Amino acid sequence: MALVLIVTIAFAALAAGFAAAYRLRQIFAGAALATVDFSPHRLRPGEVAMLIAAVMSKTIRRKLGFRQQAPPELSLGSVNVKNRFEVILPESCDLSLLSVAGRASVRATVSHEPRIVKRGREYDLEVSILVKSDVSGGETLPVFRQIFTMLEFGKGTGEATRESRAAKVAEAAPVAEALSTFTFSSSDPWDWAALCRDYNFIHLSTAAARVFGMSGRVAHGNHVLGKAIQALLERQAVGFNGDQPIWFEARFRRPMAIPGMFTVGELLPGTGLGSFAIFSKGKKCIEADYGVLHSEERA
């Protein structure tokens, strides 16, 4: 097993070295990065949220200064169980402008007070993009925010009972209809890694995934969510326009093996404007809600 891990690490390091030359074929279904217009007037709101989150991934890891800022209890074995994305000022979420030196800054905070849940403790990692306002005396305003919820496995407390009941209710939430399907190929994780520089072995190597107790490679949750949003947008199955501040919240229920075909189903009832779930082989893997971001939520 040790030999397998060593070979896998060497392979991943070699792949990372050639990442700059790797031709990104497809990020979300039907959109090559080289042809994407990053203007929010061309990208739809769901695409803006997921694309910014992907492009920011490397910056986020650096900005957090994980060893210095993360709680000592938040170990290497922690997993991402929920993500929330907020497009606070859609007109300012233009990657061609955000990439201009000195225009934007990144703020990262880590909660040090965990929530006790059934499987352990949860911490929130919040990352915001700030830009200088042209009309508020140079005040910096948040234009995009992502909140990662990380689970540190361990003993829970009495909160477990309520969480367990809530999880069962969510698992049993009725599906109104299958809205769309999409595929996840063997090469998709490499496309994602080339964009966000997240070379996690469990997404790229079957051998490495098995070392960590999985049956095979698993898809990156944000990548799957991005593909699902793209599929829904293509079918005009989401109810907002590009001028509205919006939010998405995704809860990751179980890993999704790749390659494979996934189904997007509408959930009833939902919060906000709508809810949907992503299924693999008939099992619910991701639940998501979306809606309009109200003024009191934008601070």
DSSP codes of every residue in 69-110: HS-TT--TT-EEEEEEEEES-GGG--HHHHTSTTTEEEEEEE
Report, as an integer, the average pLDDT of 23-37.
33
The β-bridge partners of 144 are 87, 129
Helix 221-234 / helix 45-64 crossing angle, nearest 10 deg: 160
Dmax of the chain from CA atoms?
A: 60
Residue 228 pLDDT class (50, 70, 90 cuts): confident
Res 27: pLDDT: 32
Checking if the pLDDT of 255 tops 80, the result is yes
3-class SS of residue 62: helix
Question: Sign of dihedral through CA atoms 240, 245, 249, 255?
Answer: positive
Taking the domains of the chain in order of start, what are their residue ranges?
2-297
Q: Determine which helix (DSSP H) or strand (DSSP E) holds 127, and give its type and residue range.
A: strand 120-132
**Mean pLDDT for the stretch of residues 48-58:** 62
pLDDT at residue 196, rounded to an integer? 74
> Cα–Cα distance between 45 and 42 in angstroms, integer?
9
Q: Is the entire prediction scored with pTM above 0.85? A: no
Average pLDDT, the chain: 70
User: What is the CB-side half-sphere exposure of residue 13 using CA atoms within 13 A?
Assistant: 6
| pLDDT reported for residue 251 | 94
* pLDDT band with cut points at 50, 70 and 90 for residue 285: very high
Query: How far is residue 11's CA from residue 97's CA, in Å, rounded to a whole number?
Result: 36
pLDDT of residue 121: 87
pLDDT the model gives residue 215: 83
Range among 69-73, 117-121, 161-165, 275-279 rated most confident: 275-279
Choice between 136 and 41, residue whose per-residue pLDDT is larger: 136
- Average pLDDT of the residues in 233-255: 78
**Per-residue pLDDT at 1:** 44
pLDDT(84) > 90: yes
Instruction: Indicate the pLDDT class of residue 234, thresholds 50, 70 and 90.
Output: confident
**2-297: what fold?**
Thiol Ester Dehydrase; Chain A (3.10.129)
Which among 220, 192, 229 is positioned nearest to 33, based on CA atoms?
192
> In whole angstroms, what is the distance from residue 90 CA to residue 46 CA?
11
CA distances from 276 to 67, 107, 159, 228 (A): 36, 30, 26, 9
Token digits for 55? 């492009």
Checking if the pLDDT of 181 tops 90, the result is no
Q: What is the DSSP letter of 28?
A: B
DSSP H/E element including 144:
strand 140-153
Whether the predicted pLDDT of 17 surpasses 50: no
Q: What is the mean pLDDT of residues 46-74?
A: 56
- pLDDT tier, 203 (very low <50, low <70, confident <90, very high otherwise): confident
Is 23 within 8 Å of 199 (Cβ atoms)? Answer: no
The pLDDT-based confidence of 109 (bands split at 50, 70, 90) is confident
Nearest of 142, 139, 141 to residue 126 by alpha carbon: 142
Q: For the chain, what percent of residues have pLDDT higher than 90?
A: 7
